[in-house]
Amino acid sequence: MVTVKLFGLLRMDSGIKQFTSDAASVKELYAELQQLASKNGNTITEKNIRSCAVLVNDIQADKNTKLKDGDRVVFMSMVAGG
């Protein structure tokens, strides 16, 4: 089981702070995240998720990163401003 945490706009838009999953890769989390957000009455697109920085155990990852039991996954929305 992996622990998934959301930060920034993705957290606000999805209504999800954290969840656990048996996903084998980061890509598998996309559909699960969309489904959980939908249960909260929110809509998250794959584009929203792909625009986030992803960390697995505090190391930058991508959608192809494999997951194992005990991993910590963080989705962090990128923010720009000035």
Instruction: Give pTM, 2 decimals.
Output: 0.90
Between CA 23 and CA 31 the distance in angstroms is 10
Residue 40 confidence (pLDDT): 84
Which tokens belong to 35? 């489904």
Number of domains in the chain: 1
Cβ atoms of 52 and 9 within 8 Å: the answer is: no
Residue 70 confidence (pLDDT): 97
Residue 53 confidence (pLDDT): 95
Which CATH number fits the domain that encloses residue 69?
3.10.20.30
Residue 80 confidence (pLDDT): 58
Strand pairing category for 52-56 and 2-7: unpaired
Which tokens belong to 5? 């945490």
Cβ atoms of 8 and 77 within 8 Å: the answer is: yes
Structural domain span for residue 19: 2-77
Residue 78 confidence (pLDDT): 79
| Average pLDDT, 10 consecutive residues per value, the chain (82 residues) | 95 93 96 92 90 96 96 88 56
